[in-house]
Amino acid sequence: MVLAHDLTQIIPGKFKGRLFKKGHVIRETDIPHLLNIGKGHIYTLDIPEEYAHEDEAAQQMADAIAGENVYAVGPSEGKMTFKSEIQGLIKINPKAVHEINELQGIALSTLFTNRPVEQNQHLGGIRPIPLMIEKRIVREVESICRKYAYVAKVIPFRSLKVGVVTTGSEVYEGRIEDKFGPVVKQKVEHFGSEIVEQCFAPDQSEEIEKKITYFLNQGVDLILVTGGMSVDPDDRTPLAIKNIGADIVRYGTPMLPGSMLLVSYYDQIPILGLPGCVMHDPYTSFDVFLPRILAGDKITIQDMTTLGYGGFHAC
């Protein structure tokens, strides 16, 4: 007899995958292996006209869901897996995902939207739950996908010229070595952008303003001002950003770490005030907004205020 679907073996901690492939002709020597994974009975294939086999349905739905720069691999065990063609920012439409999952017998699972992804990174997967599913349901998935501009896509990062102003009299006067520059450089370069120059300023608003203005005149695409973001009398960065006339989206971000982050725009140029934790903690609110800015998103106040729910990252 011919197997109607893939058969899965799970050995905890060691293996989870396909032991027998759909279409395999079962031989006598397979029987002990089948019994070892608990299969005393198997399905043979007799699909009514109005139904689609899980593999075929998964493939058809994956084609409808995969948008720009997303491709799908499979089917394996009735599932198609989405992957990214490029490094970029993933955009998932949660409304569409929820609507698809409300259909009987469909499981679509994705990453959260607005996360950076690497080339070939797994983004999600879709499978019908039963072995066969009504073709009508598959068509409904396709029509939901047509209704929205996208369900899943990846936006490439732009290559921006970035200016860094590092504040702190202790660094400016050479009392301590700058540790902020290398961290910010590594993060910016990882996404394919470039720090054109790093300037240093003491804890004086006018000096910080001069350096920000210098970068605006240089025509950089993004300005990062490091340190001086909290409450000491020597923390002058928010004042300096305000004084040069930038529109402050928000000073204070409900995420830990990174609560003292400031996002602002001068014309279209984003100017970010980065608190000390960005230098110290591996994942902060800066890691949320940097990839979005590089992908061309304009950061809104809602983007910032909604970060609190789920925004606690052990700080």
Ligand X SMILES: Nc1nc2c(c(=O)[nH]1)N[C@H]1C(S)=C(S)[C@@H](COP(=O)(O)OP(=O)(O)OC[C@H]3O[C@@H](n4cnc5c(N)ncnc54)[C@H](O)[C@@H]3O)O[C@H]1N2
Interacting residues toward ligand X by CB under 6 A: 166, 168, 170-171, 176, 178-180, 226-232, 235, 259-260, 275-277, 279
Supply 9's token pair. 């073996």
Residue number with the shortest CB distance to ligand X? 276
- Separation between Cα atoms, residue 113 and residue 92, nearest integer Å: 5
Cis omega (within 30 of 0) for bond into 94: no
228 binds, among ligand MOO, ligand X, none (CB under 5 to 8 A by kind): ligand X
CB of 236: closest distance to ligand MOO in angstroms? 16
Answer for the pair 85, 113: CB distance below 8 angstroms, yes or no. no
3 state SS of 11? strand
Q: How many alpha carbons lie under 13 Å from residue 223 in its C-beta half-sphere? A: 33
Return the range that interacts with ligand MOO (CB under 6 A); candidates 97-105, 164-172, 217-225, 251-259.
251-259
DSSP H helical segments within the chain, as ranges?
Answer: 31-36, 54-65, 94-102, 135-147, 169-172, 180-190, 205-218, 237-243, 277-280, 285-294, 301-305
CB of 285: closest distance to ligand X in angstroms? 10
Q: Using CB under 6 A, which residues numbered 252 to 281 contact ligand MOO?
A: 256-260, 275, 277
Supply 3's token pair. 């197997």
> Is position 228 an interface residue for ligand MOO (rule: CB under 6 A)?
no
- Separation between Cα atoms, residue 115 and residue 124, nearest integer Å: 13
Which one, 128 or 258, has the nearer CB to ligand MOO? 258
238 binds, among ligand MOO, ligand X, none (CB under 5 to 8 A by kind): none
231 binds, among ligand X, ligand MOO, none (CB under 5 to 8 A by kind): ligand X
Residue by residue, what is the 3-state secondary structure of 253-291? CCCECCCCCEEEEECCEEEEEECCHHHHCCCCHHHHHHH
Burial class (CB in 10 A: 0-12, 13-18, 19+), 290: buried
179 binds, among ligand MOO, ligand X, none (CB under 5 to 8 A by kind): ligand X
170 binds, among ligand MOO, ligand X, none (CB under 5 to 8 A by kind): ligand X
CB of 284: closest distance to ligand MOO in angstroms? 6
> Is position 78 an interface residue for ligand MOO (rule: CB under 6 A)?
no
CB of 224: closest distance to ligand X in angstroms? 11
Which one, 49 or 232, has the nearer CB to ligand MOO? 232
- Separation between Cα atoms, residue 55 and residue 51, nearest integer Å: 12
- Footprint of ligand MOO on this chain (CB under 6 A)? 256-260, 275, 277, 284, 315
